[in-house]
Structure 1
Amino acid sequence: MALRHGRPCGCLEPPGDGRRHRRVARGIGESQVRKRRTNDARLALQLAMMLWAHEHQPVSVSEVAEHFGIDPDDAYSELYPLQGIEVEVNEEFHNLGVVVDDDGEIFFDINPLFGRPRKLERSEALGLLAAANAALGLPGTNVAALKTGVRKLEHALGVGSTVAIDIQDPEFLKIIEHATRNRECIQIEYYARWTDEISTRTVEPYETINVSGDWYLRAHCRVRDDHRTFRIDRIEGVELTGETHSRSDPGNEAFTGGETAPLVTIEMPNSSRWMVEPLQALVTDDGDTLIVEMPVSSTIFLERLLLRLGPDARVVSQGPFSNVASLAAQRLLSRYETS
């Protein structure tokens, strides 16, 4: 199981705002002296508090702190980051579902994928069998392994291979395949998940390929002047240009089975190392400063991370994220000025 920091479920308070902590601490007494914990100790405490809170919900941060014998501010500082934890399920990351609201209440919006194993109903098993039989005809499928699973499922259900299902191809697959065969340049409107934006670009198609049931276009992108892989079901418009290209196919080395998230480099205080330790990142220790390079698939995630790191952290790489922190801070400040 893989974990990472992602998009938090809850609200993000402005850096330096102590009102939230004062509300949590009210009525508990004076703060206890907080001891520095090792990463292993922090993880153990966070997991224990999260499980206890889930079993006793509805529950507040103050109640969790009282149960574990720690300061409410300390409990809050350990629980709050859990809102940004994502867990890998079926090769995709999903938010863990822990929410700490402005009043110090803790509740859970758990993704159904994290639940206990459920009994497979007969109708669900038949649907799974139909999809598996259809997948046997897709290119790139591990046929031998899938056939073994199909036979076992058929035996359990007491049925033969008579169930069929029609898998719909992406809307623009045929026209893209036509352009690829004829080496014709096409103009596409493409939705990039990591920016949540649609861009228009002209591409020179090399190949269409199916990987694990998803169709991809490998092409040279004139906007980026580089080899790119596009997921065809995220293409929202295609126009044939009538222009052919003679560019040679560089091969599959750039194909990753999906979009490659852009890299961002952050300079930050060493004292905040714990905030990036769970992330998939390259960390260079430069004394009091850390240089962190990591892939970013969500602008929202990067905004929240930079706001949590505070004013001593900054993006030092060039590219689309160079002014993310200042724009996010301005937007957050404008909300408080108008409220």
Structure 2
Amino acid sequence: MADRRHRAPSRSVPPPQARDKLAFLLALVPWLLEHDRVTVQEAAAHFGVSDDEIRSSVSLVALSGIPGSTSTYQHEDLFDIDWEAFEQDDEIAITQHVAIDDAPRLSAREAAALIAGLQYLQALPENADSAALKTLVGKLSRGASSEPSQLAVAGGADDALLQLVGRAVAEGHRVRFGYLNSRGELEQRDVDPLRVESIDADWYLRGWCHLRQALRTFRFDRMSDLVVTGSPIEHDASEVRLPDSLFEPSEEDLVVTIEAAPEVIGLLADYIPDGALTSEVGDRIRTTLRVSHYHGLKRLIAGMPGTVRVIAPEQARRAVAEWAAAGRARYA
């Protein structure tokens, strides 16, 4: 066995707990199999642990396995390593492994679905050039039971606008655009863009509105003729508190009375203002919502068919009814 007295001392690392040790081994073994033969120092640098921790873990792996039909451990039931390389050259090479190939693997369809989701995430401004997402896509492609279908996430109508707004957020430049407010009036807005967020297929810009002198949320499909100005923003995310909830009440909000099945009330929590009067009407719950415009209300109600009914005002009832009628007419 090689004399290790001349090796550089390992970094001082607190001993891991049993659960952490198991999680580490579950990550270490597939990595070693993927890299064929690596040094102890390379593995330690990759996982951010001490050299001695890697040596201890590899020794433990070599004592692990699954008992065979005799309920005792035979040589082929255990992991094994190239001990000569490990003890003399500090190299790790797994020469025998068990159970790893028997682990459940994603089907080609499951992997393709996950890859599509990752491609969507890669399109978001905050994930541009994310090495972690690219690596994960590669692992999913290689780790499926068969080759996943080749697919791509199609761009939406908001993609060009998303790129412009994302650039403005990254560069800290003010944007100017026309905005259709809740009353259907087109207003010119100058906004310091702070964050881009999405709910399902809808995109929103959160920023400081110079017209209202307050934080506002703007929906992409109500914005028009957006330009990125050369003016730097006056309010940034460090001085403007962005609430956790995407929708914050404002004086411009529209109040709508609805009746909903009890099981969907929780899904409407973001729209129900604090102190809203709530009562039972038969098997339904009557309460009020605050929405920025009726277009958003239409989409909200359409997403809960048969469980939510608009009671008042009449303009809201009419907007939702016309939306539903237009949708039904397309199937005629």
TM-score range, shorter chain: 0.3 to 0.5
Q: Return the TM-score normalized by structure 1.
A: 0.35
Structure having greater relative contact order (Cα 8 Å, sep ≥ 6): 1
Pick the structure with greater CA Rg: 2
Q: How high is the TM-score relative to the length of structure 2?
A: 0.36
